[in-house]
Amino acid sequence: MADKLRGEGIIPNEFVDKRTPYTQFQVWLGETGGAIGCPVDCQYCFFQLDGLTPAKPREGLTPQELVEELGNASTYAPNIPVNYGSETDAFATRKNVAYYSEVLQRYGASDYPNPVVFISKREIPDQIMDLAAEIPQPVLFYMSYSGLGDTPLEPTVKSEVIRDNFIRLKEHDLTGVHYWRPFLPQNSTPEKIEEVLSHVAEYASCSVAIGLRLNDGIQANIADFWPELGASTYDFTKTGEFWPEDVRDYLMKYTKQHYPDYPVFFGTTPCSATFALETSDIRGAYRSSGCLESNCPPFQRERCGAAFATPTEEQIQAAAEKMDIAMEDISLIDNRITVRGKVESGKLVYLRYALKYPVISEAVGYAAGYNWANVRDEGRIIEIPWRNNWIKAAKNRQLGKLGIHDLGL
Ligand code: SF4
């Protein structure tokens, strides 16, 4: 397992990459050299495809080595959130908890200012909460709560444990962010949506709702649970999020109508971090499609608007040089920086963090991330039919009442 390349065997091959202690994913600088392997066994997880779940975590670097390596990451910048435990669930085993407790301790004693992010579906131990409260750097707990716990899609996940985490985080005065993904027919019923939303609206800082990420292997895994998804072929280098048809739109309207004061971000995970960190746009999302679609509070929109600025040529040059991109390949047109040619996704993400400005390239090379999370503005939202689409049925009933027959909407 340790010698396997990330994404090996996954088409297209450009996604294959050597493991390094840290990897720049679309949102986080992910720690990828600590504990590797996850016992949680979610069926939609890309780890399914390279033997990393279900798997017993194995430790790589020591906690001290791991912390020391952070500054050497090629895209390191002091404002990028660092996700510890990105190749495991940091709280899934007692050994993992001991390991990441030490990481947190050593990180807290370091000079790095970066916010720390943990993403988990397991109980957050008290010792981790106590450490998070003690260290000077901000720590965000992303609770992955889809509502699919206790089903074959998340066979070892207990929804009650995650729900309780939100309550305990609030009691500890710590920040819990609700990671709401993926959406499948099984968790898209009105009851399930309300069950999840009513709880997090009371206890979490905000939610970020994201569709399913797919490649060939995961499509095959999920086809049993969602046959319509398995029925087509896609060019996964061009796809973004997959959603059950009508659900995204319903969720946008429902959250705005029933939970108007609770922030729900759509596809814009960096905005959830921005909001939870009580700062302005950290990664050039302001006025993007995700920004405009999200239910972001007016005071936050003002905060981001006030901080929004076009970067100077010197700033662009410094960021481009660090990423080994020539200035002649960069153009700034219509409030957007475009880099000519195919650029590795991690470099684009770095530019966005460094400049806090929209940055795209003519084509994206998904090295190291194998489409785990597309760059939102280039990734299409793809809506797939599903049996028991109650939203469509309700629309049709409404139309029927108006004397209009089923128009197949
Ligand atoms: S205003 Fe836009 S960019 Fe800023 S946090 Fe809200 S959604 Fe994100």
Query: What CATH number corresponds to the domain at position 40?
Result: 3.80.30.30
Distance CA 405, CA 409 (A): 10
Buried b / exposed e along 112-142 (16+ C-beta atoms within 10 A)? bebbbbbbbbbbbbeebbebbeebebbbbbb
Domain-embedded: residue 59: yes
Domain count, the chain: 1
Ligand 1, pocket-test mutation among 282, 301, 335, 357, most atoms within 8 A of CB: 301
What is the amino acid identity at position 91? F
Confidence at residue 372, expressed as pLDDT on a 0 to 100 scale: 44
Distance CA 189, CA 197 (A): 12
Domain-embedded: residue 52: yes
Domain-embedded: residue 390: no
Q: Give residue 137's domain range.
A: 13-307
Query: 285 CB under 6 A from ligand 1?
Result: yes
Query: 274 CB under 6 A from ligand 1?
Result: yes
CA of 297 to the centre of ligand 1 (A): 9
CA of 156 to the centre of ligand 1 (A): 34
Domain-embedded: residue 383: no
Ligand 1, pocket-test mutation among 252, 269, 286, most atoms within 8 A of CB: 286
The model's pTM is 0.92
CA of 151 to the centre of ligand 1 (A): 34
Domain-embedded: residue 359: no
The secondary structure of residue 368, as a DSSP letter, is T
Domain-embedded: residue 206: yes
Q: Whose CA is nearest to atom 3 of ligand 1?
A: 286
Confidence at residue 100, expressed as pLDDT on a 0 to 100 scale: 98
Q: Which atom of ligand 1 is nearest to the CA of 275?
A: 5
Domain-embedded: residue 385: no
Confidence at residue 10, expressed as pLDDT on a 0 to 100 scale: 45
Confidence at residue 106, expressed as pLDDT on a 0 to 100 scale: 98
Domain-embedded: residue 393: no
Q: From first to last of its 409 residues, what are the pLDDT tens digits of the chain?
A: 444 454 444 444 444 456 789 988 889 999 999 999 999 999 999 888 878 899 999 999 999 999 999 999 999 999 999 999 999 999 999 999 999 999 999 999 999 999 999 999 999 999 999 999 999 999 999 999 999 999 999 999 999 999 999 999 999 999 999 999 999 999 999 999 999 999 999 999 999 999 998 888 899 999 999 999 999 998 876 778 899 999 999 999 999 999 999 999 999 999 999 999 999 999 999 998 889 999 999 999 999 999 999 999 999 999 999 999 999 999 999 889 999 988 888 899 999 999 999 998 887 776 544 444 444 445 578 999 999 999 999 988 887 776 554 444 4
Best CA proximity match to 58, nearest among 15, 11, 95: 95
